[in-house]
Amino acid sequence: PGKEAEVEKFLQAGQGLVEAEPKTISWFAIKIGPSTYGIFDTFADDSGRDAHLNGKVAQALKEKASEILAKSPSIEKIDVIASKLPK
């Protein structure tokens, strides 16, 4: 709490870095509550996910996390079982 503007600025800046990741299919920075944020992203394959998790956004987050986050981020691998996407 108290660092929301910094978190949002960080996430908005991250979009530009993710644009350069060809195997990151979609990337959403989301606000879940007043001071709770998340990222939902999808990848072409596991190598794309691995590249993203070792890429520039992940590195920047590791460097800034202790300054702007109340606790360490949790990264969860999920499986999408249904979706609707634009054609």
Q: Domains (ranges, CATH) in the chain? A: 4-68 (3.30.70.100)
d(CA 61, CA 53): 10
**CB distance 39 to 53 below 8 Å:** no
Residues 36-63 pLDDT 10s: 999 999 999 999 999 999 999 999 999 9
Q: For position 33, what pLDDT does the model report?
A: 96
**Taking the model in full, what pTM does it have?**
0.87
**Percent of the chain surpassing pLDDT 70:** 100
Task: Give the per-residue pLDDT at 38.
Answer: 96
pLDDT at 87: 86
Q: Please, what is the end-to-end C-alpha distance for the chain in angstroms?
A: 39
pLDDT higher than threshold 90 for residue 17: yes
